[in-house]
Amino acid sequence: MAKPNKADKAAKAKQLRKSPLKTPSALGEDARRDITAELNTLLADVFALYLKTKNFHWHMTGPHFRDYHLLLDEQSDEIYAATDPIAERVRKVGGTTLRSIGDIARHQRLSDNDADFVSPQDMLAELREDNATLAEHMRKTHGLCDEYNDVATASLLENWIDEAERRVWFLFETGRNV
């Protein structure tokens, strides 16, 4: 194998300047494109779920206010904690990530809730369904990662799926009418 000459090095440097955000990745171009797209959509969903959870936390009412308020604060912190690792994973595989609230809105699949009033039971039920949906989207993304042998992203997803399922469980048990 021939050693790269000065012209080869200059061409490589020029290419890096043309695409300075394209982090090198051993996964390949198809994997980079597909995984980046899925992770950006998940990231948008996570931001949407975070804001909805905070919205419900801020607008909680009723006799169980303190318990529900604290539960949703804890869950929103957990959801928000996933945003940076998701975005950083996008960059690690060679992609670029979301850039604005508008970008989030264009990618999110989870619905916003702009209602003036939502009952505590309806809040818990809606968040339970959203977290279950998010976990399902994460499983789909995990399958894509398996296809491309992206074990690092798959491993992260396994933890986030477990966290989402735990939130579903807590919201289900908290929202029960016993």
pLDDT in tens, 63-77: 999 999 999 999 999
Q: Which pLDDT belongs to residue 5?
A: 76
d(CA 108, CA 116): 22
For residue range 93-108, list pLDDT tens digits in order.
999 999 999 999 999 9
The end-to-end CA distance of the chain, in Å, is 73
Mean of the pLDDT values across residues 143-164?
98
Q: Is the alpha carbon torsion for 145, 146, 148, 154 positive or negative?
A: positive
Give the residue-averaged pLDDT of 79-95.
96
The single residue listed with the structure tokens 């992260």 is 156
Ramachandran region of residue 94, left (φ > 0), alpha (ψ -120 to 50) or beta? left
Q: Which residue bears the tokens 């009033």? A: 117
Q: Which CATH number fits domain 26-174: 3.30.2030.30, 3.30.70.3280, 1.20.1260.10, 3.40.50.300?
A: 1.20.1260.10
Asked if residues 158 and 142 have their Cβ atoms less than 8 Å apart, the reply is: yes
- Could you tell me if 157 and 143 are in contact, meaning their C-beta atoms sit under 8 angstroms apart? no
Considering the chain, what percentage of its residues have pLDDT values greater than 70?
91
Task: Decide: helix, strand or coil at residue 95.
Answer: coil
Choose among 63, 79, 46, 38: nearest CA to 166: 79
SS3 of residue 114 by DSSP: coil
